[in-house]
Every structure is written in C-alpha cells, then in structure tokens.
Chain A
Amino acid sequence: MAAMKNDRPTSIVDKSEKRFTACLAISAIIIVVLLLAVFFTLLVTSIPAIKAFGIGFLYSKDWNPALEKFGALPFLVGTLLTSFLGLLLSIPFSIGISVFLGEYCKEGPISTFLRSAIEVLAGIPSVIYGLWGLFLLMPIIRSLETMIGVAPHGVGIFTSALILAIMVIPFSASIGREVITLVPSDLKEAAYSLGATRFEVIKNVVIPYARSGIIAGILLALGRAIGETMAVTMLIGNSNFLPTSLFSPANTMASVIANEFAEATGTTASSLIFVGLVLFLVTTLVNIVGNFIIKKISIESSREVG
C-alpha cells in the first residue's frame, strides 16, 4: 500500500483551525474540571468535620454548635421524610397527568392548556412557592393540626412535603407523558382488537410498557425534592432536633445549610459543608440512575422504530 496522504503540511489556515478546535476542547474540559472542582472543594473543606466526627456524623442526632458537637441524623431524617412523603403525595397526580396527556388527550385546546399550565408550574421560582406556602398553606395546616389535636406549628415536615409534592409534579408528569406517548400503537391496537376497554389497555399494556420510564421520572423528581431548598427552608420550621412526628418542625440537609451557613465558622462551617457533600453525592446518585434509565428507554424505542 502506498503512503497514506493525509499527513500534509500545515499552513496559516490550519493554525486558526487548530486554535478553534482547541477552544472547543478547552471548553469541554472546563466542564469536567468544574465538576471535579465542585466535588473536591466540598471534600477538602469538610475534612475537619470528617476527621472530628467520622462516619458517626451520619447517625449521631446531636447538632449543637455551642458544644461543637455535630451529627447530621436529624437532617437526613428530615430530608428523607419530606422528600418521600412529597413524592408519595405527588405520584397519583403525576401519573394521572401522564396518562391523561399521553393517552386521553394528546392534542387540542385542553391538552395545550394543561401542558402550558404544567410548564408554568415548573417555572415558578421556589421562593414564591415558599411565600405562598407561608401565608396560605400554613394557616390551613395550622387549623388542620388543631383539629386533629397536635401542636399547631403550621410549619414542619408535612407542610414542606405538601409544597414539594406540588413542585415536583411537573417534572415527573412531563417525563411520564413522554414515555407513555412512546408506547407503540400496534401494541395498543392489538389489545383493543381483542375487545379490551381503554382502561384495560392502559392498565395491561401502556403502564407496564412505560413502567421503567415512569419510575425514572419519579426518581428524577426525588432528586429535585431532596435538593430543593428555598420553599422547604421557609416552611419546615428550622428545628435541629430529630423530628418526632410528621407535623413536627425539622430541618432538611438543604434547609440547615440555608439557615446556618452564612453565619457559620470553624467546625460548624465544615460540618455544614459535610452535609452539603452528602447532599451532593445523594442527588448525583439519584440523577445518574434516573438518567441512565431514560437513556436506555430512548435508545430501545429508537431501535424499535428504526
């Protein structure tokens, strides 16, 4: 074989060419470096707390800046309770919307209205949910609490979970709608031709087929709920004790940082950053798994179409 002829002499144009491709590559590298820098910044600055409390930080329930004793259990519990309860409350609604928009009402004015409403809902800043919750949801919860005979704080885990549910519905619903529209129509038609009703088709064909996508949507919503800060900070009651009931004031990982970081120094700051590191790792894990599932689904469905 003769010599390959692609290694030709370079020139002036090649120089600006190289500069351009270098710029692109550098920008790409910046993104990687940025993320690594975020991670290592958190890791390095939380080392004092890691050294002082070790793994016990995660299951100790005392958070006492005065005694410089720190344990993150109350916030882990607060985060878990608010986000899972919020998710639980949101699931019927987000699946309802997914099915309605993906099956019953794919186009037309009602569909457009509902879809834009959901987009607007997703776009409203978190602090405004907090404001609304503080002045309208809180009094309602307070009277509810009086009615069932618990301490009427008005703020706390339940209130936060409620606002989280409202906030995450748009995310899981829009992902759910997309995966439901991906269900091949020949599968549905096969079931209809056997005499199934629409409900039976949805229950036995659509939902099973779209299940992993719906779960991915819920996972991504969970990631958002775990990291959600402002609305929860405004509604959770800022208490560093382990919550005793669903109505007690508490703190999540995000809200304790929001409440205390600006004035924190020394070990307190380092402990809060440690909480931030845990928060970062948990949300990253949830997100990667959720996105992995979604990517797999879209590859599979494109393979079936192609």
Chain B
Amino acid sequence: MEGHVRGRIIKDTIFKSLVMCLSFVAILPLLLILYYITKNGIAVINWEFLTTLPRPIGEAGGGIYNAIVGTIQLIILSSIFSIPVGIAAGIYLSERKEGKLSELVRLCVVVLQGTPSIVIGIVAYLWIVAPFQSFSALSGGIALSIMMLPVIIKTTEETLKLIPYHLKEASLALGVPYHRTILKVVLPAGLTNILTGILLSVARITGETAPLLFTAFGNQFMNYNIFKPIDSLPYRIFYYAMSPYPEWHTFAWGASFILVVMVLGLNLTARGLASKWKVQF
C-alpha cells in the first residue's frame, strides 16, 4: 500500500518537473533571439546607420534611414485605410448583436484574420500594382490595412459590448440623438481599449514582410510618392539577410534590432495604456 502511494507521489513530482522544464525550454529560443539581436544589432547601430541611405556593396558605411521612414509611412497609410472602417464596422457589430449581416461580418473577420499574409500580398498586387504597372507604397499600405482590419474590428466590438447599457440610456434620456450618444458617450468610454487594439494591430503589421514583397517592394532611395516603391525595415532585413555579403548580414541584425524595439515598444505602450487609463464605470 505504502509503496503504491509513494509511486503515485513520485509520478506527480516527475510530471510537475517535466511541465516546468518544457515551459522554460519553450521560451529558450526567445532569450537566444533577443540575445543575438541585441549583441549583433547594437554593434552596428550608430548615428550614421540611422540617418543615411544604403550604399552599394563595396562602399563602406551607409544606413537604413529610408527603411525606417518607409515603415512609418506604411504604418500611416494603412492606419488611414483601416482605422475608420474598422471602428465603424466594430460599432455596427456591437450595436447589432444579432442579425444576418453581423453574423456574416463576424465570419469574414475570422477568415480575414486567418488569411496568410502572402495571399493578401498577391491580391494587393493584382488590385493596385498590376493596373498601375508599378510597385507602390499605396499597394503595400492597402495590403497591411487588410491585415489590421480584423484586430481593430474585434477590439472595437468587444470593448463597446462591455460598455454598460445604462450609460447609453443616460445620454438618450437627455435627448441626445443616437449618433451623438455613440460618438460622444459610448466611444469615449471605450477609447483607451480601442486605442490599445489599434496599437497592437500596428505592432502586428510593422514586422510584416510577406505582403510587401510584391507591393511596396523595396527602394534603396528615400521616397515620399505613394505611387512609387518604398523601402521598409522588414523588407530590408530580408533583402540583406538573403544577400551573400557578410557586411550586409550585420546590417540585417542592426535593422532587426530597430524593428524589434519598435514592435516591442508598441506592444508595451498598448499594454501600459490599457492598464493606466482604464475608464471606471
């Protein structure tokens, strides 16, 4: 009897240690990735790297200024396309909880969220690049905005659903029209959460490469024309990493460091926002 119990306890202990080991082994790659990015990245980062354009191979120096600016331009472009539509569709879903169109939209959001980014890249190519006969910042922005939409719609819907109904009633009872009630009472009450969602969706697309391969493409010069190809950090990392030149490989690490800092910074800001500026009901 006692031996039997001891066996069970030993099994229990083994299982617990196994689960702990697996958990920590699983995050080992993360620590390794962060370590290498920091180690290899910081080594190349200096003022010149951040503020000059890339140089052809063979010429020393140069930087990724155009890629940083390009990424920011792409973020702005895709935000312009996705935020208004996304928030409006999210409001629609939270206001019409049932209904055929709402169900359909929810299904579409699930499908869009699961659609591989490379497929969205193809579509943006067929819609914009092919007719205009040129890779362009516009097509990249459209592709990324399609990727942002599901996250924005979902957070808006879920946030607004949690806003107590009596708040809406308070406004309506004051004779405030429905649309003003939504825009001035309900939306502000959920604003921090929606902003968090937007920042998370921006963080998600900042590192996206696949949809840019044949839309924004890349550009070793600075470009502010949305109908021309534009550079971006993830594209530059890919381009440098796949090149045969060791010097460019180090540049890829440097650009990765900047990209990771941007993505993690966005994530942290989003979470800070959510916990600090929470609206109390």
A194 to chain B, nearest CB (A): 13
The answer to whether B33 and A128 have CB atoms under 8 Å apart is: yes
B120: A residues at CB distance < 8 A:
38
Among B126, B209, B260, B267, residue most surrounded by chain A Cβ atoms (within 10 Å):
B209
A272: B residues at CB distance < 8 A:
122
Given that A29-B101, A200-B8, A276-B122 are contacting pairs, would A125 and B207 also be in contact in the complex, using a CB cutoff of 8 Å?
Answer: yes
B44-52, B104-112, B163-171 - the one binding chain A: B104-112
A261: B residues at CB distance < 8 A:
121-122, 125, 213-214
B221 at the interface (CB under 8 A from A): no
Q: In chain A, what residue has the closest Cβ to B263? A: A123
The answer to whether B101 and A127 have CB atoms under 8 Å apart is: no
The answer to whether A119 and B267 have CB atoms under 8 Å apart is: yes
B6 to chain A, nearest CB (A): 11
The answer to whether B115 and A283 have CB atoms under 8 Å apart is: yes
B117 at the interface (CB under 8 A from A): yes
B149 at the interface (CB under 8 A from A): yes
The answer to whether A234 and B33 have CB atoms under 8 Å apart is: no
Contact of B92 (CB < 8 Å), options: A25, A93, A120, A229: A25
Main SS class of interface, B: helix
Given that A25-B101, A38-B115 are contacting pairs, would A96 and B26 also be in contact in the complex, using a CB cutoff of 8 Å?
Answer: yes
A13: B residues at CB distance < 8 A:
177
A152 to chain B, nearest CB (A): 18
A223: B residues at CB distance < 8 A:
114
Q: A261 CA to B253 CA in the complex, in Å?
A: 26
Contact of A127 (CB < 8 Å), options: B91, B126, B238: B238
Q: A118 CA to B34 CA in the complex, in Å?
A: 13
The answer to whether B33 and A229 have CB atoms under 8 Å apart is: no
Interface size class of A (residues with CB under 8 A): 35 or more
The answer to whether B11 and A273 have CB atoms under 8 Å apart is: no
B12-20, B56-64, B72-80, B189-197 - the one binding chain A: B12-20
A206 to chain B, nearest CB (A): 12
The answer to whether A117 and B27 have CB atoms under 8 Å apart is: yes
The answer to whether A169 and B26 have CB atoms under 8 Å apart is: yes
Q: Which residues of chain A from 177 to 225 have a CB within 8 Å of any chain B CB?
A: 197-200, 202, 220, 223-224
A88 at the interface (CB under 8 A from B): no
Among B33, B101, B109, B112, residue most surrounded by chain A Cβ atoms (within 10 Å):
B33
Q: Which residues of chain A from 254 to 288 have a CB within 8 Å of any chain B CB?
A: 254, 257-258, 261-262, 272-273, 276, 279-280, 283-284, 286-288
B80 to chain A, nearest CB (A): 15
Total cross-chain contacts (CB, 8 A): 251
Q: A206 CA to B70 CA in the complex, in Å?
A: 49
Contact of A279 (CB < 8 Å), options: B24, B116, B182, B253: B116
How many positions in chain B have a CB within 8 Å of any CB in the partner chain?
Answer: 87
Q: A129 CA to B252 CA in the complex, in Å?
A: 12
- CB-CB contacts of B134-175 with A at 8 A, as 1s and 0s? 000000000000100100010000000000000000000000
Q: A135 CA to B33 CA in the complex, in Å?
A: 11
Given that A24-B91, A34-B146, A131-B237 are contacting pairs, would A17 and B179 also be in contact in the complex, using a CB cutoff of 8 Å?
Answer: yes
A230 at the interface (CB under 8 A from B): yes
Given that A197-B12, A229-B210 are contacting pairs, would A20 and B179 also be in contact in the complex, using a CB cutoff of 8 Å?
Answer: yes
Known contacts A32-B104, A124-B207; 6 additional CB pairs below 8 A are A21-B178, A31-B89, A31-B153, A94-B26, A100-B23, A132-B33
Q: Which residues of A contact B (CB under 8 A)?
A: 13, 16-17, 19-21, 23-32, 34-35, 37-38, 41-42, 45, 92-97, 99-101, 104, 114, 117-121, 123-132, 134-136, 166, 169, 173, 197-200, 202, 220, 223-224, 226-230, 233-234, 254, 257-258, 261-262, 272-273, 276, 279-280, 283-284, 286-288, 291
Closest 6 CB pairs of A and B: A125-B207, A227-B116, A96-B22, A287-B114, A27-B88, A20-B179
Q: What are 23 A-B pairs at a CB distance below 8 A?
A: A13-B177, A24-B89, A26-B88, A32-B101, A34-B108, A34-B112, A35-B108, A35-B111, A38-B112, A97-B26, A114-B23, A114-B24, A124-B263, A127-B209, A129-B33, A136-B32, A200-B12, A202-B15, A227-B119, A229-B116, A230-B234, A234-B242, A287-B114
